[in-house]
Homo-oligomer: A and B are copies of this chain.
Amino acid sequence: MRETGLEKGGIYNHFSSKEQLALESFDYAYELVRQRVRQALAGKYNAIERLLALVSVFQSEVDDPPVAGGCPILNTAIEADDANEVLRDRARAAMDDWRDTIHRTVNRGIERGEVRPAVDAGEVASLLIATLEGALMLSNLYRDPNHMQRAAAHMIRYIETLSIAS
C-alpha cells in the first residue's frame, strides 16, 4: 500500500490471491535490487573490485533502500516458512543468483591471477551474504546505519585478504 499508493481493496482487485500478491511484490522488489547489482558491477572486470562493489550494493540498501522494509530476499527467506513453499523457492532462487555471482567472480579471479588460488568461492559467498544480510537486519531493527558500516568495513578488509597482492 505504501509503495503503490492504492487502498487495500484496490490492491486486492489487482491480484488473484494474497499469495499471488506476495509473489509479484517479491519479484518487483527483487528486480529493483538486481538493477542495483548490474549498475554496481558495470565496467568492473577485476574480481576484487567486483566483490567490493557488491558490498556497496548492501550499503546502499540501508542508506537509500530500493523498497521500504529492507532486503526483499532476506525478508522472504524469513517470512516464507514451510507452509509457503512457492515463495520460499522464489527466495532460494534469488539467493542462488547472489551466490552464483560471487562464485563466478571468485573463480574467474583465481583463473586470472587476481585472487589467491587457495580461496574457496563457496566460503566467500557464505560469509559475504551472511555478514551483510545480518547487518541489514540490525540496521533496520535499530534504524541505525552503524551496524552496516561496521560489517561493510570488516568485509572490505576480508576481501582485500583474498587478493593475490595481499
Residues of A participating in the B interface, judged by any CB pair closer than 8 Å: 69-70, 74-75, 77-79, 81, 88, 91-92, 95, 122-123, 126-127, 129-135, 137-138, 140-142, 146-147, 150-151, 154
Contact = CB atoms under 8 A, between A and B. Distances in A.
Q: Can you tell how many copies of this chain the complex includes?
A: 2
The A interface, classified by DSSP as helix, strand, loop or mixed, is helix
Q: Which of A78, A134, A151, A154 is most buried by chain B, counting CB atoms within 10 A of its CB?
A: A134
A126 B137 contact: no
Given A69-B81, A123-B150, A74 B129 contact: no
Contact of A146 (B69, B126, B135, B141): B126
17 contacts: A74-B137, A75-B78, A77-B140, A77-B141, A78-B137, A79-B79, A92-B142, A95-B138, A122-B146, A122-B150, A123-B150, A126-B146, A126-B150, A130-B147, A130-B150, A133-B137, A134-B137
